[in-house]
Structure 1
Amino acid sequence: MSKIAFVFPGQGTQFVGMGKDIYENNEIARKEFDNIFETLSFDLKEAMFNGPEDLLKKTKYTQPAIVAMSLVLEKLVREKGIKPEFVAGHSVGEYAAMGSAGFLTISEAVRLTSFRGEVMNEIAESVNGGMAAIIGMDSDTIIEVLKEIDGVVEAVNFNEPKQTVIAGEKSAIEKACELLKERGARRAMPLAVSGPFHSSLMKPAGEKLREEAEKFNFKEAEVKLVANTTAEFLTKPEEIKNEIYSQSFGPVKWVDTIKKLKENGVDTIYEIGPGKVLAGLIKKIDKEINVINVNSVEDVNNL
């Protein structure tokens, strides 16, 4: 029995003008977007539709922008009669997955994401950290090599079998990149991000997020969510609150997430939101899964 999953992208997929075509050409989308924009204390609409790019790149804007666009598109996909058995999201995409699963309403999910963006930014500015992508080496080898480095540096995003992102202190990242290349990594590239996301240095953000999450009315999920940190199914409010806390300084186990979906009968995945990053990763993890991209009003109309 073939099953469907929805997956949602993370940071780095944003672009100026994101969501504008959907807003201008679909009545349902316009209402959803306006509802989201009204609940925020800053002008997300202007940042998304008109930029400038430097503004949209700020975590405070980037994260809610991606989740807002993803969840409005998700609603339009459901309007076509397409419903998922499972959902998952990559990093901040997990907040879109929460909305899709029914843990929170669309505007609640975006509001919580907006808080996440602010708190992540605040903690990132207080630590001198960064991230780097390691290409052409398996994650087990990377984890072993990192044990030899002084300072905080951890494998945090397990994106596909030969691409893992590391995060930690800047000096430790530099040393790790050199050593990993010496040991056979094809490339070790520092990423243009403002902090060591998903590493233990971000734990103070987790504490603040845990407090904030208590102000929201989480419901039992209608659809199973595959958690970033464990690749296990979550359906209960307490489980998702624990994940919100852990995920801010814990790993994104994307390879295990896709394997979990496959094991449970998923053969079609809809990547919903800006960009096509996840489709590329999924193909590297499992070529048999059919991936359908939905990132514009045209994509929705073509479903």
Structure 2
Amino acid sequence: MSLALLFPGQGAQRPHMLHDLPPSPAVTAVVDESGWQIDDLDSAAALASTVNVQIALVIAGVAGARALIDDHGLAPEFVAGHSVGAFAAAVTAGVLTLAEALTAVELRGWSMEHACAQGDWGMAAVSGLPTRAAAEIAAEVGTDVDPLWVANVNAATQTVLSGTDRALLRAADAASRAGAQSCERLDVAVASHCPIQQDTARLMAEHLAQLPRRLPTYRYLTNTRGRITASADVVLDDLAQSVARPVQWYDGTRLLGELGVTCAVEAPPGHVLTRLLTSAVPSITAISLTDNGFAATARLAARMTASAT
């Protein structure tokens, strides 16, 4: 009987993602408020930078959410962001200002790149195996020199691994032998949601601790536990710590269904979270704003939440 807004994380980016946002007063206002020139963020060359990717994703997510809320009158009850998408969720919920979020993710992206400056690192999604099997593969092929960790639990049979290139190659072979459908490298130049980012988590905790505490206006789904909170302290802790801990997305999406969410809209860019939610909780109507535009998305979301009341 309620609406959730979803915000994608790194890997969902694509060239011209900010230029491709549908025209809207809210979109124009958010881009202006950001203080960034979008030409500097969303070209193919610019998106080679983790910093630029994360800034662009936050701007796109906040712009999409504000267009739905301010221009089209939608009233969400929950916000949920995957990885860096959680910063867009926190802005939408009023815990962070846009300026605070962009400063934080610029620092976050820089620190993540620094943590992975020595060696070749990345992430890969293992599909078609349960999480336990993917975790066993990570434990089997990871070494002290080439570590491998579970980074995201996205679905019952999709688990993302983080580690060195060599470990990911070995994991792909092991996953294939175990019967996985695929082991696909993500468009991510760092290893995230794993212990190599512990310094980033500490840096983020120190930075976010200096910010004012503002109660969220919408309930926030945490990355680290897959649970709902209305506490500003919990939101800020989740934003800091999730970079070094696995994202419990599957638990969180199932919880949204248990809490009565009937419709979820994925902010730009893309539709990865829409597909994951449709698979995990078929009772929730999941809509990609990128695929449907503002007006059609708002009409469908309003109809789905009204018809369920």
Q: Do these two structures clear the TM 0.5 threshold for a shared fold by scoring above it?
A: yes
Partner of 1:54: 45
Q: CA 1:20–1:128 in 2, change beyond 3 Å: closer, same or farther?
A: closer
Partner of 2:6: 7
One-letter amino acid of the counterpart of residue 65, structure 2: E
Alignment of structure 1 residues 160-175 onto 2, 5 Å: 160-175=155-170
**1:246 alignment partner, SS class:** helix
Alignment of structure 1 residues 260-299 onto 2, 5 Å: 260-295=255-290, 299=293
Partner of 1:94: 86
Equivalent of 1:81, from 67, 73, 83? Answer: 73
Q: Distance in 2 between matches of 1:175 and 1:16?
A: 30
**2:161 alignment partner, SS class:** strand
- What is the RMSD of the two structures over their aligned residues, measured on CA atoms? 2.0
Range 120-129 or range 277-286, more displaced: 120-129
Q: Is contact 1:127–1:195 with CA below 8 Å preserved after alignment?
A: no
Q: Is contact 1:88–1:226 with CA below 8 Å preserved after alignment?
A: yes
Partner of 1:40: none
Does residue 1:239 correspond to 2:212, yes or no? no
Q: CA 1:238–1:222 in 2, change beyond 3 Å: closer, same or farther?
A: same
Partner of 1:34: 32
One-letter amino acid of the counterpart of residue 44, structure 2: E
Does residue 1:137 correspond to 2:136, yes or no? no
Q: CA 1:176–1:238 in 2, change beyond 3 Å: closer, same or farther?
A: same
Q: Distance in 2 between matches of 1:295 and 1:98?
A: 21
Q: Is contact 2:7–2:81 with CA below 8 Å preserved after alignment?
A: yes
Does residue 1:300 correspond to 2:299, yes or no? no
Deviations along 1:187-229, one digit per CA (max 9) or x if unpaired, are 2233342121111111111111112212322311111111111
Q: TM-score, normalised by structure 2?
A: 0.88
Partner of 1:107: 99
Partner of 1:125: 117
Q: Distance in 2 between matches of 1:277 and 1:44?
A: 26
The alignment of Structure 1 onto Structure 2 pairs a total of residues equal to 293
**2:122 alignment partner, SS class:** strand
Range 182-191 or range 96-105, more displaced: 182-191
1:21, distance to aligned residue in structure 2 (A): 5.1
Q: Distance in 2 between matches of 1:179 and 1:28?
A: 47
Q: Distance in 1 between matches of 2:171 and 2:49?
A: 27
Partner of 2:301: none
Q: Is contact 2:7–2:85 with CA below 8 Å preserved after alignment?
A: yes
Q: Is contact 1:123–1:202 with CA below 8 Å preserved after alignment?
A: yes
Q: Distance in 2 between matches of 1:84 and 1:267?
A: 11
1:22, distance to aligned residue in structure 2 (A): 4.5
**2:244 alignment partner, SS class:** coil
Q: Is contact 2:11–2:187 with CA below 8 Å preserved after alignment?
A: no
Deviations along 1:53-94, one digit per CA (max 9) or x if unpaired, are 021231111101111111011111112221111110111111
Does residue 1:69 correspond to 2:60, yes or no? yes
1:150, distance to aligned residue in structure 2 (A): 4.1
Q: Distance in 2 between matches of 1:15 and 1:149?
A: 31
One-letter amino acid of the counterpart of residue 206, structure 2: E
**2:269 alignment partner, SS class:** coil
Range 73-82 or range 13-22, more displaced: 13-22
Q: Distance in 2 between matches of 1:206 and 1:131?
A: 18
Q: CA 1:100–1:217 in 2, change beyond 3 Å: closer, same or farther?
A: same
Deviations along 1:2-35, one digit per CA (max 9) or x if unpaired, are 1111110111222332233558x33332222111
Q: CA 1:279–1:185 in 2, change beyond 3 Å: closer, same or farther?
A: same
One-letter amino acid of the counterpart of residue 118, structure 1: W
Q: Distance in 1 between matches of 2:295 and 2:27?
A: 13
Q: TM-score, normalised by structure 1?
A: 0.89
Q: Distance in 1 between matches of 2:195 and 2:132?
A: 19
Q: Distance in 2 between matches of 1:218 and 1:46?
A: 33
One-letter amino acid of the counterpart of residue 261, structure 2: V
Range 119-128 or range 270-279, more displaced: 119-128
One-letter amino acid of the counterpart of residue 10, structure 2: Q
Alignment of structure 1 residues 146-161 onto 2, 5 Å: 146-151=138-143, 152-161=147-156
**2:91 alignment partner, SS class:** helix
Q: Distance in 2 between matches of 1:260 and 1:44?
A: 38
Range 195-204 or range 9-18, more displaced: 9-18
Partner of 2:19: 20
Q: Distance in 2 between matches of 1:207 and 1:44?
A: 30
One-letter amino acid of the counterpart of residue 218, structure 1: R
